Amino acid sequence: MPQNILITGAAGYIGGSIVADILSRNDEIGVKALLVDLSDKSAVEDVISQNEIDLVVHTASAMHPAMTSSLISALGKRRQASGSKTYLIHRKSSIATMFTEEGGWPYGEVKDSDSILDKEREIGFDNPVREVNSLLAEEGKNQGVETFNVAVPMTYGRGSGECRKLSVNNPAMIRTSIKLKTVHKFDKDGHFGTVHITDLTDVYVRLVSRILKQEPIQVGHDRYFFAIAHKAHWWKMMDKIAEGLHSRGLVTEPKAKIWSDYHTAADSLGFPRAYIRAMATHSGQLIQTNVYALGWKPKWDSEEKFLNQIDDEINDVQKLDTVKMSLFDSMVAEQSN
């Protein structure tokens, strides 16, 4: 039974919040900080072996195949050496861009219990997240590592980790609006899936708990989990941000205006141009099945609750926006070359 768990990206918003959630449920758990280049296969293998790690929760990146490959290889060698089962819980970011028309998904409605990988292979791997999804499944199977893929939608709420407390999307909208003294929205109003950080970490903790207790996780072949608690509208969100910022004297108008074009919006927000349309206007027909089979019952389960906490997010950006967003740095740098 695995007892030593490696959580990558533990200084980040999601990874740090998962660590905090686990610790809040058991005060006898110890923590050891590790610094390792996840793209260095040999270094990762040493860390997994020396610390006798059988379970990895990978939140550091869903867009870098080398990291995922290193972790699977290390867990595969650990399994061979110890004879114990090994597991990788992977965070799939940008879920909305994967399964919407804007993100190149031509199949319409999709359940997390469907045979998703076959359809992703048909689409191709121009998007790095899809490439990692295929690698995760294929290398996991080859190495005898059990893999799980948690598809993370836009996440909101204050994180509980030691370092990064803020998510990516909403703080970027708020930060940019303050800088420009105007709140902007896009010309298309989507109805997107979303989740509060506390409900998201609960999905991970439930998966970890089942693995540690060696309880069966019978959720189909591809083992996707759509961690979507509810849906919300982009325009309602941006108008709520506009109201909150205007009441503080931080923007000139209490209503959101339409961006002049998508490239300007992407550059202002610090998002990659190639994915801005899908990131900020998507809807999608995603249906959660597997995630509820874990017994998941999200507490933040409505658009009303989401909109009512926007004011808190504005306060958090003003107080806690001290760590530079780096998620899309490499993509933004590439488009400038």
Residue 221's pLDDT band (cuts 50, 70, 90) = confident
Residue 206's pLDDT band (cuts 50, 70, 90) = very high
Compute the distance between CA of residue 29 and CA of residue 248 in angstroms, rounded to an integer.
43
Compute the distance between CA of residue 174 and CA of residue 269 in angstroms, rounded to an integer.
9
**Distant-in-sequence, close-in-space partners of 48: CB < 8 Å, separation ≥ 6:** 6, 56, 71, 74, 75, 77, 78
pLDDT of residue 256: 98
Residue 19 · residue 38 · CB < 8 Å: no
**Distant-in-sequence, close-in-space partners of 155: CB < 8 Å, separation ≥ 6:** 13, 14, 167, 169, 194, 195, 196, 197, 200
pLDDT of residue 334: 54
* AA letter at 100: T
pLDDT of residue 335: 57
Nearest to 13 by CA among 143, 198, 146: 198
pLDDT of residue 268: 97
Residue 304's pLDDT band (cuts 50, 70, 90) = very high
pLDDT at 177 over 70: yes
Nearest to 204 by CA among 150, 255, 157, 158: 150
Cβ density class 256-272: b for 16+ within 10 Å, e for less = beebeebeebbebbbbb
Residue 48's Cβ-side half-sphere holds a number of Cα atoms within 13 Å equal to 30
Domain boundaries defined on the chain: 4-155+195-226
Compute the distance between CA of residue 199 and CA of residue 154 in angstroms, rounded to an integer.
12
Strand order in the sheet with 191-196: 154-156, 191-196, 230-233
pLDDT at 328 over 70: no
pLDDT of residue 90: 95
Tokens of 182: 């105007």
Residue 10's pLDDT band (cuts 50, 70, 90) = very high
| DSSP result, 274-304 | GGHHHHHH----EE--HHHHTT---S--SHH
Give tens-digit pLDDT for 265-300. 999 999 999 889 888 998 888 999 999 999 999 999
Provide CATH code, domain 4-155+195-226.
3.40.50.720
Residue 186 · residue 260 · CB < 8 Å: no
Neighbours of 336 (CB within 10 A): 7
pLDDT of residue 16: 97
Compute the distance between CA of residue 200 and CA of residue 204 in angstroms, rounded to an integer.
7
Compute the distance between CA of residue 58 and CA of residue 200 in angstroms, rounded to an integer.
14
Tokens of 67: 């990291």
Q: How would you classify the pairing of strands 87-92 and 230-233?
A: unpaired
